[in-house]
Amino acid sequence: MIRFDRVGLERGGRRVLSGLDLELVERRIGVVGANGSGKSSFARLLNGLLAPSEGSVRVFGRDTASETKAVRRDVGFLFQNPDHQIVYPTVAEDLAFGLKNRSVPKPEIAERVAAALARFGLPGFGERLVHELSGGERQLVALAGVMVLEPKLVVLDEPTTLLDLRNTRRVMDAVDGAGPAVVLVTHDLSLLDGFDRVLVFDGGRVVRDGAPAEAVAFYRDLSLR
């Protein structure tokens, strides 16, 4: 599903990632690390938001740097702050935006938007103004806007950092029942229960790669050093 071949990344003259050789085929992959460890840059390489300075990243067989448009049809991305990706004033307009860009017929757009609202616990929210929603509701709208495009993989970069416990659970329940493969970047280690694999980043490198219990234990120990 995902292949990193000798990937390095520099940003602003600083080495951010080094020596990434990975093959990721699991359906639930967690990514953890301290601030500045490179985990968010890693996430942005997965759908072409960043291009590697060296090496290559391929997702579903496509190069994320040279085939970015095709990659983004398969890879959805959810930011930490939903306001960074919600662009229209009402919920229904925002969910329809990506579908219109893909020339989906209007009747199908209406059906898929309604289905997404129901699926994410937002029935009747179509005409609601986004700025009137709570933080958790906005994050659910942002997630629904990603999922309505039916990606094969969704990358979530700290999606619950700004949320309280209740809304964190709502977002993660929606993710768990969503269908596509998931790469989750998070500081909340409790969210990784039930995941298949966890990558631990430190200093721009993967320093542990394994089952959640083992990788999380390693990361806890690393954080105390």
Model pLDDT for residues 111-126, shown as the tens digit of each residue: 999 999 988 888 999 9
Distance, in Å, from the CA atom of 210 to the CA atom of 167, rounded to the nearest integer, reads: 28
CATH of 2-224 among 1.10.10.10, 3.40.190.10, 3.40.630.30, 3.40.50.300: 3.40.50.300
Model pLDDT for residues 193-215, shown as the tens digit of each residue: 889 999 999 999 999 999 999 99
Question: Using alpha carbons only, what angle is made at residue 178 by residues 174 and 181, rounded to the nearest 5 degrees?
Answer: 125
- CA 184 from chain centre, in angstroms, equals 6
Q: How far is CA 138 from CA 101, 111, 210, in A?
A: 21, 21, 33
Percent of the chain having pLDDT more than 90?
76
| Packed helices 165-176 and 135-147: angle between N→C axes, nearest 10 degrees | 10
- Is the pLDDT at 185 greater than 70, yes or no? yes
Residue 196 in contact with residue 27, Cβ under 8 Å? yes
Residue 23 in contact with residue 206, Cβ under 8 Å? no
- Is the pLDDT at 178 greater than 70, yes or no? no
pLDDT for position 179: 78
What does pLDDT average to over the chain? Answer: 93
What residue segments make up the domains of the chain, in order of their start?
2-224
Distance, in Å, from the CA atom of 220 to the CA atom of 217, rounded to the nearest integer, reads: 5
Alpha-carbon torsion (165, 170, 173, 178), positive or negative: negative
pTM, entire model: 0.92
Please state the φ and ψ torsions of residue 2, each to the nearest 5 degrees. Answer: -130, 130
Q: Which pairing describes strands 62-63 and 54-59: parallel, antiparallel, or unpaired?
A: antiparallel
Nearest to 142 by CA among 161, 156, 132: 156
pLDDT for position 197: 97
